[in-house]
A and B are shown apart, each in its own frame.
Chain A
Amino acid sequence: MTTTTMGESEGTWSVSTRVIVYAAIGAALYAAAGYFSFFAQIPGTEGVYLRPAYGILTFFGFAFGPVVGFVTGLVGNALADTLTGSGPVTSWWWSVANGLAGLLAGVFGARWISGGSSSLRAVVSVTAAVLATAIGFLFIWIELVIQPELGAQTILWAEYVPTVVSNGVFAAILTPILVLAWDPVSEQLGR
């Protein structure tokens, strides 16, 4: 069996050396790739950017588990914000939303994958990535408390929907590509 997901012996929620290193690499990659691949702001949205690097987050969650996914999203997004100049605290709720999306991709990956071909895993990864994005980014509704000036309509149409659609598209394309690329390498490494 190839191991696109964490080995069962390590447990879905365990924090082994491997989880720590993968989480650190995931967060650094997400931040670095985010820095290189900010395309443009979506017109008419509340600062929502097209960010193809988002697929890295769902891949790390799906392939290496919820802990890795959560750290990749939370720390990676905060570092990307730091690199692009707005600082890690300014929009902290977006970092938490990214973390939750990565965590959910990991939960779905751990629950839905127990074998099968690489192609099947790639297909499943698309569903997991899109679903994790749609659910994880519900966290940005906390803006009703943080920024009460924003109406629910603004959050829905200028933030949540554009974010979920753009991130969902990027995740649906990049996640399976990375799953298909990683499977043979993980077999070679005996992971």
Chain B
Amino acid sequence: MRASFQYLGRGSWLAARDPRVTLLAAVAFVVGAIQLRDARQLLVALILALLYYALAGIPFRRVRFQWIYLTITIVLIAGINTIITGGRAGGFATADLHVLFRLPLLQAPITAEAISLSASQTLRFLAFVAVSLPVAYAMAPGDFAVAMRRLGLPDRAAFTLDLTIRFLPTLVNEFAETIDAQRVRGWDPLAHGGGPVTRIRRIAPIFVPVIIGSIAGAEDTIDAMDLRGFGVGRRTWLRELRFRPMDWLLLGLFLAFLVLATYLNLSGNSRHYLLPFLVGG
């Protein structure tokens, strides 16, 4: 069972950047894209996000499943929203709707406005994914905590993050081993069938020993940290981070995107756009 972080973008141009840039770029992009409503602008944002994603050098065959799964999920979410709102949301809340057809069984109207809203929603989410995946795959797992510390997170919070990332592979292995051990005894905790209560009862023999064992075992870590005087003085980090010109350039581009998106939003130039080909325009 492989469930630890995969550094798929190792050696890429983006992986060579300061990890703070990767984090700040994702945040700046998400905050900017949230403010955009117009599907045309969101399409441009998605193209920019995909160009950025390409810099991460993540082999497509390794993330093909994620992209397919996420795309289907996002389209399904947008589709359900289309049916529920019927187009009466966002910038079209009070607009006259253009009904294109009705769903056969539900008789729910599918409107041009609803499809236009779905387009905006889908494009924005796909763009989120494109800037988020490099954080997961093109940053060295060991850089998360030090990057957060250098971005101003307190030492204790950064160390908590560091410790979490260190614990994760061990605990995943413990879950896998416990599942195997129970299966050897003829108990299949991940078997299909049954309602939620039955399923929870089925996984309790996995969760309880792993969780309680982990907490009890944490005493050793706590003692070791206390004995080494954790938290009594200013903490230093072995890894040093330094911004290079390319880091500033990349960060500047994302900040420019954020400023532009904020301007478009505040000036009223990013409203929901009715796709003209749906209404014969």
Contacts and interface: CB of A to CB of B under 8 A. Distances in A.
A123 to B, nearest CB: 18
A105 to B, nearest CB: 15
A182 B215 contact: yes
Contact of A25 (B129, B203, B215): B215
A126 interface: no
A16 B132 CA distance: 32
A102 interface: no
Interface in B44-93: 63, 65-66, 69-70, 73, 76-78, 80-81, 84-85, 88-91
Interface stretch (B94-102, B115-123, B239-247, B256-264): B115-123
Given A32-B171, A35-B172, A178-B207, A149 B80 contact: no
Nearest to B1: A36
B214 A29 contact: yes
B181 interface: no
B136 A88 contact: yes
A86 B196 contact: no
Contacts of A128: none
A28 B170 CA distance: 9
B196 A151 contact: no
Interface string B203-230: 1101110111011101101100110001
A18 B222 contact: yes
Given A154-B85, A173-B200, A185-B216, A87 B175 contact: no
B211 A17 contact: no
B84 A158 contact: yes
Chain B interface residue count: which class?
A: 35 or more
Which of A36, A39, A154 has the most CB atoms of chain B within a 10 A radius of its CB? A36
B272 interface: yes
**Interface majority SS on B: helix, strand, loop or mixed?**
helix
A27 B226 CA distance: 21
A20 interface: yes
A17 B200 contact: no
B269 interface: no
B9 to A, nearest CB: 12
A50 interface: yes
B254 to A, nearest CB: 13
A102 B89 CA distance: 32
A178 B205 CA distance: 11
B124 interface: yes
Contacts of B231: 17
A52 B132 contact: no
B214 A25 contact: yes
B29 to A, nearest CB: 9
Interface of B: 3, 5, 26-27, 30, 34, 37, 63, 65-66, 69-70, 73, 76-78, 80-81, 84-85, 88-91, 117-118, 120-121, 124-125, 128-129, 131-133, 135-136, 156, 159-161, 163-168, 170-172, 175-176, 179, 190, 196-197, 199-201, 203-204, 206-208, 210-212, 214-216, 218-219, 221-222, 225-226, 230-231, 272
29 contacts: A17-B231, A21-B218, A21-B222, A22-B218, A24-B161, A24-B164, A25-B214, A35-B172, A36-B190, A46-B80, A50-B196, A52-B199, A79-B168, A86-B70, A87-B136, A89-B27, A90-B125, A90-B132, A92-B30, A146-B34, A147-B121, A150-B121, A177-B204, A178-B211, A181-B212, A185-B212, A185-B215, A189-B216, A189-B219
Given A83-B5, A90-B132, 6 more contacts: A21-B163, A22-B215, A24-B167, A76-B164, A79-B168, A149-B90
